[in-house]
Amino acid sequence: MRNNASSSQKAYYVLITLLTFIVFLLLFIFRTADDNRLTSWQWTFIGVDINRIFLIIVFGIIAAYLFSKSAFPERNPSLFLFFSSFIACVFFWKEPEVIVDVSRYFTQAKHLEIYGIKYFLQEWGRGINAWTDLPLVPFLYGLIFKFLGESRLYIQIFTTFLFSMTVVLTYKIGKILWDEETGFFAGIALLGMPYLFTQVPLMLVDIPTMFLLTLLIFTFIKAMNRGGVWIVISSITVFLAFFSKYSTWLMLSVLAVIFIVYLLKGSNPPFPPVVKGGEGGFVASEFRIRNYIYRTALIILIAGFFIGVVILFKFDVISGQIKFLQEYQKPGLKRWGESFLSSFFYQIHPFITIAALYSIYAAFRKKDLKYLIAGCLVFIVVLLQIKRIRYIMVTFPMFALLASYGLQEIKNKEIRKFIVSCAVMSSLVIAIFTYLPFLQRTSYVNLKNAGMFLNAIDAANIEVLTISSANQVVNQAASVPILDLFTSKRIIYYYEPAFYQSPEEIEKSPLRFTWAYKNPAYYAGGSEDSARAVVIISDDLETNPPDYISQKIKGYHHFRVFKISEDIFQYRTIVTVYY
């Protein structure tokens, strides 16, 4: 019998290994089906040696096999998940800022750094252009700049820490809802989503928002189970999540689902029972239900009070943003969306997606109400057809929980471990050896390289000039704050508003915010300033500079051009430094 079991297990290992290769090959062959706007397979595999990728995946599968046989991680799963995810993300710190939205968050954060916390709180949405952003994440970035220094490295350490904590929280939620093994596999499954690795190093709001939403679910469950200080912590988390990103407001409905599940299971709770006077003891179901209602009401009242205070203080700004979101962002989602096929089979490993799909059947068969807690956010995304991956990635921790729940239907633990490990290893190979090199070839890297070059030359003040060409999709002025992120030198920039598209085109543009750019006062130079270097940012190297720019660079004898381009995206940043 033991030999038969051993032979069966070997057969499963061989089958999973073959499926790992087959899945990769199918995705590669049909890569044109991937319509992701940043890391589409049809772009990221251009010029890639596919044989080399196959060979690296072989080593990845060997590592997955060794991992499946090891019992080490389970001894301290939180530390293992934190450090393994953190180390994996460090590989991506050399990625440039590849999304122009960074310009907004950097600018808001720098206002806090220069003018202080009081100024930020008073002028956010007024003197500080907030577009459709909420203030929390730029506020946190600003605190980092003010107290640690204006360095991208500090931001990357912070966002990587938040991502790794999200992995740990995913494990913790799974452990509370079901068991430690389900939680552990969910934490690992979150690393089987290659798109996430490209987002962690960026100075955006998505990773912090994903962390806060996961923390919100964890703390609310803790508050329902334990009460006490967890009510306060949960209230604070609701407040923070509320002001992280507007799309999170819809996701707060998960709290109602958790509350309803607790009430329905009040007489036979699936979670640690509410207790009086210690860890042991039994409390009647009526008392439990009253506690659930009381605790939920208290959280809503505390969080609602502070949320109301902020909304009252910034009512004109927030109400204007909401109106604008309804008129612009909501219709725009239909034009800017990506397909579920892309998000759930290319940007998430298919093993994880298939396991998550199977979990629906498993939960229905078991009549498991707890499943709704993890599943409701994913169901909202599908039902409302929210297809922009940057809006749905906040639900990925819950998706990882669904996948882990589905994997538990496989009785052999080592096989489960091997499946999820193969998904993670394949995803890491794709992210490190195709996504990362591609992103380093985008024209955004010119801003990074130019900033590093400026740090190395003898010039305290840098005057930046931007040249725009006809029919460009992005206002080149938005590139200036991104360059500022990569250099420690003082930037002087005089923004001249100009429009190279019709008002109708700008109104429909997904990058409309760049045309609403307002030059921060800290870029204005005084009469005593003398620029020791001039930087020209354009989207076309062949464009002849206007006469006033020609006069500016007349006295400079050296220049350096940064002109890397992937020739895919419409928005390009070519940087020339005169010194």
pLDDT at residue 501 in the model: 63
pLDDT digits over 409-422, tens only?
Answer: 999 999 999 999 99
Q: Is the alpha carbon torsion for 79, 244, 209, 129 positive or negative?
A: negative
Whole-number Å distance between alpha carbons of 303 and 31 = 45
Specify which of 4-8, 288-292, 365-369 reaches the highest per-range mean pLDDT: 365-369
Predicted confidence band of residue 276 (pLDDT cuts 50, 70, 90): very low
Using the structure block, give the residue that is written with the tokens 């000039």. Answer: 465
Residue 124, judged by CB atoms within 10 A of its CB (0-12, 13-18, 19+), counts as: buried
Q: How many CB atoms lie within 10 A of CB 115?
A: 19
Which residues make beta-bridge pairs with 493? Answer: 464
Angle at which helices 180-189 and 152-177 pack, to 10 degrees? Answer: 150
Predicted confidence band of residue 278 (pLDDT cuts 50, 70, 90): very low
Residue 547 has pLDDT above 90, yes or no: no
Q: How many CB atoms lie within 10 A of CB 241?
A: 27
Angle at which helices 350-366 and 371-383 pack, to 10 degrees? Answer: 120
Range in 39-48, 67-76, 483-492 with the lowest mean pLDDT: 67-76
CA-to-CA separations, 74 to 182, 325, 355, 402, 531, in angstroms, rounded: 12, 45, 21, 20, 58
Whole-number Å distance between alpha carbons of 394 and 170 = 12
Whole-number Å distance between alpha carbons of 251 and 276 = 33
Q: Which amino acid is at 506?
A: I
The set of residues, in sequence order, having a beta carbon less than 8 Å from that of 423 and lying 6+ positions away, is 189, 192, 349, 351, 352
Residue 511, judged by CB atoms within 10 A of its CB (0-12, 13-18, 19+), counts as: middle
Q: What b/e string do you get for 276-288 counting C-beta neighbours within 10 Å, with b at 16 or more?
A: eeeeeeeeeeeeb
pLDDT at residue 7 in the model: 77
pLDDT digits over 281-318, tens only?
Answer: 344 577 788 999 999 999 999 999 999 999 999 999 99
Asked whether the beta carbons of 213 and 248 are under 8 A apart, the reply is yes
Using the structure block, give the residue that is written with the tokens 């002087």. Answer: 492
Residue 60 has pLDDT above 60, yes or no: yes
Whole-number Å distance between alpha carbons of 267 and 262 = 9
Instruction: Extract the tokens encoding 340.
Output: 């579920």
Q: Which amino acid is at 579?
A: Y
The continuous run of DSSP H or E covering 534 comes out as strand 533-538
How many angstroms from the chain centroid is the CA of residue 86?
A: 14
Instruction: Extract the tokens encoding 275.
Output: 């207790």
pLDDT at residue 328 in the model: 78
Helix spans in 180-228 (H): 180-189, 194-199, 206-226
Instruction: Using only the alpha carbons of the chain, give its radius of gyration.
Output: 26
Asked whether the beta carbons of 188 and 421 are under 8 A apart, the reply is yes
Query: Residue 142's closest CA among 182, 105, 193?
Result: 105
Instruction: Please give the torsion angle defined by the CA atoms of residues 77, 78, 80 and 81, in that order, rounded to the nearest 10 degrees.
Output: 110
Whole-number Å distance between alpha carbons of 491 and 455 = 12
Using the structure block, give the residue that is written with the tokens 């806090």. Answer: 112
Residue 506 has pLDDT above 80, yes or no: no
Q: What is the pairing mode between strands 461-466 and 559-562?
A: unpaired
Residue 269 has pLDDT above 60, yes or no: no
Whole-number Å distance between alpha carbons of 220 and 376 = 15
Q: Is 272 helix (H, G, I), strand (E, B) or coil?
A: coil
DSSP 179: -
Q: Which amino acid is at 70?
A: S
Asked whether the beta carbons of 413 and 536 are under 8 A apart, the reply is no
Instruction: Extract the tokens encoding 342.
Output: 């892309």
Q: What is the pTM of this model?
A: 0.94
Whole-number Å distance between alpha carbons of 282 and 280 = 7
pLDDT at residue 279 in the model: 40
Using the structure block, give the residue that is written with the tokens 């193969």. Answer: 422
Half-sphere exposure of 259 toward its Cβ, with a 13 Å CA cutoff? Answer: 16
pLDDT digits over 112-151, tens only?
Answer: 999 999 999 999 999 999 999 999 999 999 999 999 999 9
Whole-number Å distance between alpha carbons of 40 and 305 = 44
Asked whether the beta carbons of 512 and 439 are under 8 A apart, the reply is no
